[in-house]
Amino acid sequence: MESLLEAKADVWLILADDAEFAKPSVRYGLSMMAAALRQTKSAGCQILLLWNSPAPAVNNLPQPLQSATVIEEAASSWAAKVVAKASMLGKPTAQAYRLGILGDERLGQWFELGPVDQSWDGFVFGIQGEGCEINFQAVGPGGSLPEKASLEYAQQGLKIQAGAREFTAWAVRNQIADGDSYFARVKGCPNAILFMPYPQDTCEPADDTESADVAATIVVLQ
Which CATH number fits the domain that encloses residue 175?
A: 2.60.40
Is the domain of 66 the same as that of 125?
A: no
Rounded Cα distance between 75 and 213, Å, is 47
Q: How far is CA 202 from CA 46, 103, 198, 214, in A?
A: 38, 32, 9, 9
Is the domain of 68 the same as that of 117?
A: no
Rounded Cα distance between 82 and 71, Å, is 8
Is the domain of 185 the same as that of 141?
A: yes
Which pLDDT belongs to residue 143?
85
- 184 band by pLDDT with thresholds 50, 70 and 90: very high
pLDDT digits (tens, 9 = 90+) for 91-121: 666 678 888 888 877 889 999 999 999 999 9
User: Structural domain of residue 38, as residue ranges?
Assistant: 2-88
Q: Is pLDDT above 80 for 202?
A: no
Which pLDDT belongs to residue 205?
41
Q: Taking CA 178 as the corner, what is the angle to CA 217 and CA 97, rounded to the nearest 5 degrees?
A: 25
Which pLDDT belongs to residue 61?
87
Which pLDDT belongs to residue 6?
65
The 3-state secondary structure of the chain reads: CHHHHHCCCCEEEEEECHHHHCCHHHHHHHHHHHHHHHHCCCCCCEEEEEECCCCCCHHHCCHHHCCCEEEECCCCCHHHHHHHHHHHCCCCCCCCEEEEEEEECCCEEEEEEEECCCCEEEEEEEEECCCCEEEEEEEEECCCCCCCCCCCCCEEEEEEEECCEEEEEEEEEEEECECEEEEEEEECCCCEEEEEECCCCCCCCCCCEEECCCCCEEEECC
pTM: 0.80
Which pLDDT belongs to residue 110?
95
Is the domain of 13 the same as that of 112?
A: no
More confident residue, 211 or 50: 50
Is the domain of 119 the same as that of 65?
A: no
Is the domain of 49 the same as that of 137?
A: no
- 80 band by pLDDT with thresholds 50, 70 and 90: confident
Of 88, 117, 132, which one is at a domain's C-terminal end?
88
Q: How many domains does the chain have?
A: 2
Taking alpha carbons only, the member of 56, 66, 65, 14 closest to residue 36 is: 65
Is the domain of 73 the same as that of 118?
A: no
Which pLDDT belongs to residue 213?
47
Is the domain of 74 the same as that of 108?
A: no
Asked if residues 139 and 151 have their Cβ atoms less than 8 Å apart, the reply is yes
Rounded Cα distance between 28 and 26, Å, is 5
pLDDT digits (tens, 9 = 90+) for 131-174: 999 999 999 999 889 988 889 999 999 999 998 899 999 999 99
- Mean pLDDT computed over 172-197: 95
Of 88, 123, 152, which one is at a domain's C-terminal end?
88
Which pLDDT belongs to residue 151?
94
pLDDT digits (tens, 9 = 90+) for 3-49: 666 666 778 888 888 888 889 999 999 998 888 777 765 556 788 88
- 185 band by pLDDT with thresholds 50, 70 and 90: very high
